[in-house]
Chain A
Amino acid sequence: MPRWLRIVVIGRNPKITLVRGVILAVLCVVGFKLTLLHIRVEGISMLPTYKDGSKHFVNRIAYIWHEPRRGDVVGIRLAGVHLMYLKRIIGLPGETVAFANGRVLINGQVLDEPYKEPDCVWNLPPEKLGPDEYFVVGDNRDMPWPDHTFGKVERKRIVGKVVL
Chain B
Amino acid sequence: MKIVFRFILLAALVALGVWLWFVLFPSPERIIRQRLAELARAASFSSGESDLARLAAAQSLAGFFATNVDVDLDVPGRGQISLAGRDEIRQAVLGIGSRLSGLKIQFPDINITVAPDKQSAAADLTVEANAGGEADFIVQEMKFTFQQTGGEWLIVRIETVRTLSSVTLRFALRRAAFIVSP
Task: Kindly state the separation between the CA atoms of A42 and B111 in the bound complex, as whole angstroms.
Answer: 23
> Shortest CB–CB separation between residue B176 and chain A, in angstroms?
4
Q: A38-B182, A41-B179 known; A82 and B168 CB under 8 Å?
A: no
Give the chain A neighbours of B182 by CB distance below 8 A. Answer: 38-40
- Which of A20-28, A73-81, A108-116 participates in binding chain B? A73-81
Interface size in chain B (residues, C-beta < 8 A) = 32
Q: Are A83 and B180 in contact (CB under 8 A)?
A: yes
Q: Are A44 and B126 in contact (CB under 8 A)?
A: no
Give the chain A neighbours of B174 by CB distance below 8 A. Answer: 42-44
Q: A58-B179, A75-B179 known; A82 and B164 CB under 8 Å?
A: no
**A157 part of interface (Cβ distance < 8 Å):** yes
Task: Kindly state the separation between the CA atoms of A52 and B180 in the bound complex, as whole angstroms.
Answer: 11
Q: A40-B180, A85-B176, A86-B177 known; A78 and B139 CB under 8 Å?
A: yes
Interface centre among A77, A84, A125, A149 (most CB of B within 10 A): A149
**A31 part of interface (Cβ distance < 8 Å):** no
Q: Are A82 and B167 in contact (CB under 8 A)?
A: no
Give the chain A neighbours of B180 by CB distance below 8 A. Answer: 39-40, 42, 82-84
What are 12 inter-chain pairs, A to B, with CB distance below 8 A?
Answer: A40-B179, A40-B182, A44-B175, A52-B177, A56-B179, A78-B139, A80-B108, A125-B167, A138-B176, A147-B175, A150-B164, A151-B167
Beyond A76-B163, A150-B168, A151-B164, 18 additional pairs, beta carbon < 8 A: A42-B179, A76-B164, A78-B109, A78-B139, A79-B109, A79-B110, A79-B141, A82-B108, A82-B180, A83-B109, A83-B128, A83-B179, A85-B172, A85-B179, A149-B164, A149-B176, A151-B166, A152-B165
Listed in ascending order, the chain A residues whose CB lies under 8 Å from chain B are 37-46, 50, 52, 56, 58, 75-87, 124-125, 127, 136, 138, 140, 143, 145-153, 157, 162
Listed in ascending order, the chain B residues whose CB lies under 8 Å from chain A are 108-111, 124-126, 128, 137, 139-141, 161, 163-170, 172-182
